[in-house]
Structure 1
Amino acid sequence: MDFRTVAELVELAETEGLSISEVMIQKEMETFAKSRADVFSQMEKNLDVMEKAVHKGLKGIHSHSGLSGGDAAKIRRHMEEAPVLLSGKAVLDTVSRATAVSETNAAMGTVVATPTAGACGILPGCLFSAAERLNSDRETMVRALFVSGAIGYCIANNAFISGAAGGCQAEVGSATAMTAAAMVEMAGGTPSMSANAVAIALKNMLGLVCDPVAGLVEAPCVKRNAMGGAIAMVAADMAMAGVTSVIPPDEVIGAMYQIGQNMPNSLKETALGGLAATPTGRALERKIFGQPNNE
C-alpha cells in the first residue's frame, strides 16, 4: 500500500477496489506492524479528543490573551434565534464547531493537530456536523479521519503543512483539502471525487499568508478555521455533484509549494507582516506583551 501522491492513492484504491480510508488503514498496519484493531483504536482516540474539544468550545471559552473566545457560542445562538440565516444552518453548524475547536486550542485546551494545531478546527467542525446530517456511525467517522490522514500524507510529501514553511495555505489550506476529501467518502463518494474535492478546496486557499497577531495562534487563525470548514463542505458537495478540477490535485499541491517558496518570510508565521503589522495588530501586541515582539 505504497503511495506518495494523490494520483497514486486514487489509482491504488480503484485498482484494488478499496476506499481511500481502507488504503490508509492497511498502509498504517504495514508501516507500523500493528493490527487493524490497534490502528483503528488509536485513531478512535483522536476522534474522542476532537469531540471533547467541540463540546468545550461550544460552551464558551476564552484565551488568556483575550484575543479570542466566545464566538462559537455566539454563532450557535444566532443559529437558534435568527429568523433568517443567510448562509444556511448546515454551513453555520459547521462553522460553529470549527470555531469551537480552534477556540479550545487558543485557550490551551487539548486538540488534535490536523495537520497542525493552528488548523485543528476544520476537520472536526465538518466531521461532527456531517455525521449528524448523514446519521453516520462511529466507524464511518473514524474512517473519515484516515481519509484526511492519507491526503495530509500526500501534501506533506510534496509540499508543506506548516505556516512557518509555506504560509497559512499550508496549514488551513491543507486542512481544508484533507477535510473535503474526508467528507466525500463519508457521503458515499468515490476516491476520484475525493481527489477533486482536494483540488477544489486547496486552490481556493492558494496564497493565504500566515500573519498571526502578536504571534499568537488566535487572530486571524480562529476565523480562518471557520471559513476553511465552510469551504471544505462546499468543495465536497461540488465534487459529489460531478464537478472536476481543471488542474489535478497533485499539481495544485505543487503550485502551493511554489507559492510558499516565493512567499516572503514576513508572511510565514513571523508576525512581521499582513494583519500582524497593521496599527491595530501592533497595538494589541503592545497590550499583551508590553512592547512589540519585533522591536
Structure 2
Amino acid sequence: MLNTANEIINACKENNCHIYDLVIAEEMKNSKKTEEEIRQHLNIVIDVMRKSAAENLNKSNVTRFKMTDGFAKITNDYAENQEPIIGKFLMHTMAMAFSTSEVNDAMGKIVAAPTAGSSGIMPATIVSAIEKYNFDNETVQNGLLTSIAIGQIIAKYATFAGAEGGCQAECGAASAMAASALIEMMGGTPEQALHAASITIINVIGLVCDPIAGLVQYPCTFRNASGVVNAFISADLALAGVTSFVPFDEVAQAMGEVGKLMHESLRETGLGGLAGTKTGKRIRDEFLGKTGGN
C-alpha cells in the first residue's frame, strides 16, 4: 500500500479512481483472489457486524462483575422513548456500539476492526449508516475497503495494540477507519476521507488504555460509544470542508510516538488510570482470586 496521504491522493488522481480501488488491486495481487471473491468475503463481514450491532438492543447482557451490563438496551430504550440531547440517531448508534461490545464480553462472534476492545465502533457506524441512508452492499463494501487503507497507514506508523499505544491505538484507530468509511459511502473524496481520519485521531490522541482487571469492558465500552460519535462528527466536518493541516500519515506517526511516551501502567496493564482506582483494584483482586485490594 502507498505510504503517505499525498501518495494516496496522487494515485487516485492519476488513475481516476477511489481509495477502495487501490485496496482491491493490492488485495488481488497479494491474495490471488478475484474482486468478486474479496467482495463476497466483505458481505460475510457486514453480516456479522449487522448481527452484533443488533443482538443486545432489546436484552440485557450479564457479566461476572456487572460493570457494563445492559447498557445497549438502556441506551436503545432511551433513544426510542425519549428525546435525547444529541438526537435519536446518535443515541441509537451508541446503543449499537454497546451491543457489539457486550457480544464481545460474552465471547460471541464479532469483527475485530481493528481489535476486540474497539469492536463496537465499525459495526455501529456501518449499520447505522445503512439504516439511515439505505446503502446497498457495494457501497458498504467500498466503505470498508477504504477503511482498510486507513488501517494500513496506522499499522505502518503506529500500532493497533492498546498494550503498546494506549486506547488511542484501538478506539482511535477504529474511529478513524469508520470515519473514512463514512466519507466514501457518502460520496466524499479521497482527500476528505484522509482529513476525517486525521480529525478522529487528533480528537483522542494520548488516550490511555486502562481497563479494570485487564478486561476490555470498563471503560472500553464507553470509548466504543464515544468513538462512533467521533467518527460521525469527524466525517461531517470533513464533508463540510474542514481540513487537517497535518497530513494523516504524520498524524499516525504522532500517535505512535505518543504511545511510546506513555507510562506502561497506562497501556492495558490493568494497573494505572481507572484500573488503578480503589474500585479498579478491588475488581482486579476479585478477578485474580485475591482479597483486600491495595
Please classify the TM superposition score into its range, dividing by the shorter chain length: over 0.9
Matches within 5 A, 1:1-295: 2-60=1-59, 61-82=61-82, 84-291=83-290
1:282 and 1:292 in contact (8 A); partners too: no
Range with bigger deviation, 274-283 or 2-11: 2-11
Distance 1:201 1:252 in 2: 10
The one-letter amino acid paired with 1:185 is E
Distance 2:293 2:204 in 1: 27
Distance 1:226 1:62 in 2: 19
Range with bigger deviation, 220-229 or 93-102: 93-102
Distance 2:151 2:293 in 1: 32
Q: Deviations over 1:117-176 (max 9, x none)?
A: 111111110111111222201111122111111110111011111101111100011111
Unaligned runs of 5+ in 2: none
| Superposition deviation, residue 66 in structure 1 | 2.4
TM-score by length of 2: 0.95
Distance 2:75 2:98 in 1: 9
Unaligned runs of 5+ in 1: none
The one-letter amino acid paired with 1:159 is A
2:213 and 2:280 in contact (8 A); partners too: yes
2:281 and 2:293 in contact (8 A); partners too: no
Q: Deviations over 1:204-240 (max 9, x none)?
A: 1100001010110100001100000001000000000
TM-score by length of 1: 0.95
| Superposition deviation, residue 62 in structure 1 | 2.7
| Superposition deviation, residue 293 in structure 1 | 12
Is the alpha carbon distance of 1:24 and 1:286 closer, same or farther for their aligned partners in structure 2, counting shifts above 3 Å?
Answer: same
Is the alpha carbon distance of 1:88 and 1:262 closer, same or farther for their aligned partners in structure 2, counting shifts above 3 Å?
Answer: same
| Superposition deviation, residue 73 in structure 1 | 0.8
| Superposition deviation, residue 63 in structure 1 | 2.8
1:25 and 1:40 in contact (8 A); partners too: no
Query: Percent same amino acid among aligned pairs?
Result: 40
Instruction: Give the alignment's Cα RMSD to 1 decimal.
Output: 1.6
Is the alpha carbon distance of 1:268 and 1:294 closer, same or farther for their aligned partners in structure 2, counting shifts above 3 Å?
Answer: farther
| Superposition deviation, residue 67 in structure 1 | 2.4
Q: Deviations over 1:82-126 (max 9, x none)?
A: 1x3101122112111111111111111111111111111111101
1:6 and 1:151 in contact (8 A); partners too: no
Distance 1:293 1:246 in 2: 50
